[in-house]
Amino acid sequence: MLIELKDVNKTYNNGQPLHVLKGIDLSIDKGEFVSIMGASGSGKSTLLNILGILDNYDTGEYYIDGRLIKGLSEKQAADYRNRLIGFIFQSFNIIGFKTAVENVELPLFYQGVSRSKRHEMAMEYLDRLGLADWATHYPNEMSGGQKQRVAIARALITKPKIILADEPTGALDSKTSEEVMQLLGRLNREEGVTIIVVTHESGVANCTDKIVHIKDGLIGRIEDNRMHRASVFGADTIMK
């Protein structure tokens, strides 16, 4: 198993204690294309933060590829995030004053890859996502779909074991949303990247092979969705 969560609990102590995750058990295998679905407040964002080593959990165990992720130093956590995980965010989160190619290079900069090497690699990834012509453009000159593709290139460039996508289509229209989901699907099928998508849109979830429902801090149903029939509305397109 690539990812294993055993009885993971998380409580926020902001004034009134809030028990968000109440014992999550979850296993995700290498090469899976999984979505985590739930209403807002169900704990799916917290789960994503824990999966992405962006946040700590209180009790339980979390393994990536057999490595226990617990009580890491900031430096170690940064290194794992850099090498094991690629992030795709709802609001793209690409840096506004850097060009597309500079944004894609950034994770390699923190790995200490030489300047020419990382530029070359960034160009290669942008080319694969059809953005070679936009390499020197700034994010405010690009459409939402293009920005998200830049973010995907940035997530892929370190060849991570897991891609974590937090509402990757939340800020996109239905056509672009579909394109992005197809792109993620293709990456999963052709390159075998493990992708975890967190969403509340059933159409988006329908594009993935496995749907994990989360409700009130607990894992509910786990649907096998290799036929992509989970959503009646999502059979052909993503409803907005």
* Interface residue list for another protein (CB under 8 A): 49, 52, 54-55, 74-75, 78-79, 81-83, 87, 89-91, 93-97, 106-107, 109-112, 114-115, 154, 158, 166
Buried b / exposed e along 101-131 (16+ C-beta atoms within 10 A): bbbbbbbbeeeebeeeebbebbbebbeebeb
Tokens 């990834």, located at residue: 125
- Write down the least CB distance from residue 112 to another protein, Å: 5
- Write down the least CB distance from residue 173 to another protein, Å: 19
- Write down the least CB distance from residue 236 to another protein, Å: 31
Q: Which is nearer to another protein, 27 or 111 (CB)?
A: 111
What residues does 226 pair with on adjacent strands? none
* C-alpha angle 203-50-85 in degrees, rounded to nearest 5: 75
- Write down the least CB distance from residue 10 to another protein, Å: 12
Q: Which is nearer to another protein, 87 or 206 (CB)?
A: 87
Q: Which is nearer to another protein, 55 or 179 (CB)?
A: 55
- Write down the least CB distance from residue 81 to another protein, Å: 5
Q: From its phi and psi, is residue 218 left (phi > 0), alpha (psi between -120 and 50) or beta? A: beta
Q: Which is nearer to another protein, 111 or 143 (CB)?
A: 111
- Write down the least CB distance from residue 98 to another protein, Å: 8
Q: Which amino acid is at 230?
A: A
- Write down the least CB distance from residue 221 to another protein, Å: 27
Q: Which is nearer to another protein, 63 or 89 (CB)?
A: 89
Q: Which is nearer to another protein, 129 or 230 (CB)?
A: 129
Q: Which is nearer to another protein, 93 or 143 (CB)?
A: 93
| Alpha carbon distance 130, 124 (integer Å) | 10
Angle between helices 74-84 and 100-111 (to 10 degrees): 130
Three-class SS of residue 238?
Answer: coil
| Alpha carbon distance 42, 39 (integer Å) | 6
Contact partners, residue 219, CB within 8 Å, separation at least 6: 24, 25, 26, 212, 213
